[in-house]
Amino acid sequence: MTKDQLEEYFDRLFPIARSITGEGYRKSLEILKEVIPFKYIDIESGSKVFDWTVPEEWNISDGYIIDLEGKKILDYKDNNLHVLNYSAPIEGLIEFQELKNHIFTIPELPTAIPYVTSYYKKNWGFCMSHLQYEKLREGKYKVLINSTFKKGFVRIGECLLPGESKKEILLSSYLCHPSMANNELSGPLTMLYLYTHLKQLKYRRFSYRFVINPETIGSLSYLSQKLGHLKESLLGGIVLNCLGGPNSRLSYKTTKYANSVLDKYFLRKSLENKIKIRPFTPMGGSDERQYNSPKINLPVGQLGRTIYEEHPEYHNSLDNKEFMDFSQLELSCKEILSYINEIEKLDIYQNSNGYGESFLSKHNLYPTMNSNTTRTENSGDALKDGKKQQKAVMYLLSYSDGLNSTTDIANLINENVEYINGVARILEEKKLIKKI
């Protein structure tokens, strides 16, 4: 997929009025489905998903404010950020003193239209630039928000690209913000790019699960259906969003405990000055919060470039096509694909010998006699190497738990990774570990 193709999809998606449910979201998902053959999971309104309840479906067709001279001073059809997302319907003549309590602006960004939502409590409101707001005068205004609520569903798109291993890497993003570029469309567009290129590989080591959903309620709904499978099969995951913008380097937000294979891979990349590391925090962020939430605790981090809440264009109309920069987005796509290609080559093993330490002497991997010499010199009855192999064997067996690659284990004991891989092959031949 080329930069021009990404831009074509952007131009189709950007104008669509999206929310966490409704026609705009479904239309957007159908466009993505032209590239990724998603299967849909629908969770009905009123369903309990952990501590949350799926809200009613919301749709909107119109919204405006007209002054007493008949001038339309705000029109939802000009910019779908102008109406509070999930706004209740309203129609009538309203005094300015009441109306101003339902108008949202960003005084410090006077030209920006804010993005404001009220998904779980019915409110009504309009969003406008502060410059617009300052021109309003006392008097009555004709207001209309033509929105509807009905029993509907939250929809999740899911697609699996199988690999040789049943161990999976999750690539997730959201699709619910209207008329925003970096914070909304950079993630799904990157997903299209990665799917296209990973699908073309003749050999895939791992399986790749692509998931698209409305933020928070969508990921929680998905986890309510698939948590057991993900606990069993997930090697690691990445939430993709905020991948455009001016920042020079990608940054990776670790999982809660920063101990997954992907965490350690990206931590090594940070030591090479290739990527920035952000520690996990449940304050702010995106769906990585849900994947790392209490009792979920899945190994899912987040990759971004110009990330949420760290730039003034966040959640307002200044997050547009010019701000996102397609050269930056394409760079993110290529870098992430190169990282995935490197992760594909990691050697990751699982101890296959059940509980406790293995009885190594029967495999000629430990001396059968305990003496002053063997305790300090021997890795086996006939192998006098200063216990180098024995150390590698013991660490490989102890740390081959699906959380460490052989590179991680080599770094742990300050040993050459090629040597550790050679010892790992010996253990694999003896069926003491198996590659995942």
Q: How far is CA 75 from CA 161, 286, 328, in A?
A: 43, 30, 32
Please give the torsion angle defined by the CA atoms of residues 333, 261, 206 and 219, in that order, rounded to the nearest 10 degrees. Answer: -70
CA dihedral over 78, 81, 84, 88, signed as positive or negative: positive
pLDDT at 8: 97
Question: Domain range holding 121?
Answer: 57-150
Instruction: Considering only the C-alpha atoms of the chain, give the largest distance between any 2 of them, rounded to a whole number of Å.
Output: 101
User: What gap in Å lies between CA 346 and CA 406, rounded to an integer?
Assistant: 7
Q: 313 and 358: one domain?
A: no
Q: 102 and 39: one domain?
A: no
Q: 111 and 188: one domain?
A: no
* Domain end marker among 287, 315, 344: 344
Q: 61 and 195: one domain?
A: no
**What total number of domains does the chain contain?**
3
* Domain end marker among 150, 180, 199: 150
User: What gap in Å lies between CA 174 and CA 16, rounded to an integer?
Assistant: 15
Beta strands, E only, 106-152: 126-127, 140-150
Measured from the Cβ of residue 413, the count of other Cβ atoms closer than 10 Å reads: 14
User: What gap in Å lies between CA 235 and CA 347, rounded to an integer?
Assistant: 13
Q: How far is CA 400 from CA 30, 207, 407, 410, in A?
A: 42, 20, 11, 12
User: What gap in Å lies between CA 343 and CA 265, rounded to an integer?
Assistant: 8
CATH number at residue 28: 3.40.630.10
Pick the closest to residue 333 from 208, 253, 252, 244 (CA basis): 244
Q: 337 and 364: one domain?
A: no
pLDDT averaged over consecutive 10-residue blocks of the chain (436 residues)?
Answer: 95 97 98 98 98 98 95 96 98 97 98 98 98 96 98 98 97 96 97 98 96 98 98 97 95 97 97 96 94 97 94 96 94 98 95 86 87 82 87 94 94 95 95 93
User: What gap in Å lies between CA 253 and CA 241, rounded to an integer?
Assistant: 12
Q: 168 and 144: one domain?
A: no
Q: 364 and 336: one domain?
A: no
Q: 90 and 38: one domain?
A: no
Q: 336 and 371: one domain?
A: no
Cβ distance 252 to 278 under 8 Å?
Answer: yes
pLDDT at 374: 80
* Domain end marker among 344, 373, 390: 344
Q: 353 and 392: one domain?
A: yes
Q: Provide the H-helix boundaries in 303-405.
A: 321-324, 326-344, 372-377, 388-399
Q: 97 and 51: one domain?
A: no
Question: Crossing angle, helix 326-344 and helix 261-271, to 10 degrees?
Answer: 120
pLDDT at 383: 86
User: What gap in Å lies between CA 252 and CA 303, rounded to an integer?
Assistant: 5
> b/e string for 346-361 if b means 16 or more Cβ within 10 A?
bbbbebebeeeebebe
Cβ distance 329 to 189 under 8 Å?
Answer: yes
Q: What is the pTM of this model?
A: 0.94
pLDDT at 373: 80
Q: Say which residues have a Cβ less than 8 Å from residue 280's Cβ, sequence separation at least 6.
A: 253, 254, 255, 256, 258, 288, 292, 301
Pick the closest to residue 6 from 243, 189, 244, 198 (CA basis): 189
Structure tokens at 370: 């305990």
Q: 244 and 273: one domain?
A: yes
Q: What is the DSSP letter of 54?
A: P
Going by their DSSP bridges, the two strands 39-44 and 153-161 should be labelled as antiparallel
Q: How far is CA 341 from CA 60, 175, 335, 346, in A?
A: 43, 26, 10, 9
Place of tokens 């990665």: 194
pLDDT at 372: 81
Place of tokens 């002497």: 361
